[in-house]
Homo-oligomer: A and B are copies of this chain.
C-alpha cells in the first residue's frame, strides 16, 4: 500500500510533475482499475465519499498524465474517451453488446506482417482491436 503510494509519487516526479493530492488521486485510481473508465467515471469514483477533485482538475490531470506518457486514451466508441494506465503495448477486445473493454496481452496476438505495407510509411507501432461478444453477454 505504502510502497505503491511511494512508487506513484516517484513516477510522477520522474516525469517532472508536481505531486498534488488531486493528481495523485487520479493516477492512483486509474492504476487500481482494470476497466477503462471515462473522465466522468473517475471523477465520480474519486468524489464518492468525500469531495476530492473538481471536474476541471480531473480533465486537466488526465491531459497532463497523457502528455507525460503515463496514461493513454482508448477511443472505441463515438463520443466516448476512456483512459488506461497501462501504457505498455497491448490490444483491446470490445464487447459490442455491453461496451466493455478488455485488455489483450501483446503476446496473445502475434504474427502481424508489417513488411507488406507501402514503402514510404515509417511505422512506429500498431494495435489490434477485436470486436465481439463477451461471455457475460452471451448468457443473457
A interface, CB within 8 angstroms of B: 73, 75-79, 81, 93, 96, 102, 104, 108-114, 116-117, 120-135, 138
Contacts and interface: CB of A to CB of B under 8 A. Distances in A.
A108 B116 contact: yes
Given A73-B78, A111-B111, A112-B111, A129 B132 contact: no
B131 A123 contact: yes
A24 to B, nearest CB: 23
Nearest to A119: B135
Contacts of A132: 121-125
Shortest 5 CB-CB contacts between residues of A and residues of B: A120-B135, A123-B132, A126-B130, A122-B133, A111-B111
